[in-house]
Amino acid sequence: MKRSIKPLHILITAGGTREYIDPVRFISNASSGRMGYALARAAVRAGHKVTLIAAPTALKPPKRATVIQVVTSGDMFSAVKCEFERCDCLLMAAAVSDYKPARISRTKIKKEQTVLSLDLKPTTDILKWAGKHKRSGQILVGFALEDTGVKKNAEKKLASKNLDMIIANEPSAIGAGKSSIHIKSRTADWQTLPICSKTASAREIIRQIELCRIGL
């Protein structure tokens, strides 16, 4: 395959993080990790070096990817900080929890006939941190899952977090084998991919990243 750029080191996050309440219960989300894993496979097949930071999922990663297993948003943040300086592109496809319990019980919380209330606090915004610390030439790609004002809200995220590209989709994409996505870079208009497999979407995203690299 002819290539106009040298292979990139692409750092990809995938899956939904878990925020523990006690040793057996946690807060999470419905992310399957399929998009992140599809991106890892597409990047490997395109000849790039891939490091995959994966929250819990039953999916099998590509054999040629370096895999770092994490559980919580804190774990993922630590892994991203460790790997970020060495990558050419960070692709944040993971569904990182926005909140976590303010306190974690060391023992299993017993069921009582009363209402149980949880105090939650925000987790670290990994993408925002990366936007503040990226070096010249690094590409930062984020995802925006929106149920209203999809493109408008995604553009706000693109600007506020200093991203180079944003991938926008809707809640119906969670766990689905096929979906439609919208892609926007800082220097181009929106592109909408028709409903297709996540494998096909991932190939196009990797292609767009390669084009973005050429433009830097």
Question: Could you give the C-alpha distances from 113 to 23, 109, 110, in angstroms and in order?
Answer: 21, 13, 10
Structure tokens belonging to residue 155: 């553009």
Residue 43, both tokens: 């990047």
The verdict on whether 169 is a catalytic residue reads no
With vertex at residue 192, the alpha carbon angle to CA 48 and CA 199, rounded to the nearest 5 degrees, is 40
Packing angle, helices 126-133 and 73-84, rounded to 10: 20
Look up residue 55 and give its two tokens.
């929250």
Catalytic residue of the set 29, 153, 162, 169: 29
Active-site residue set: 29
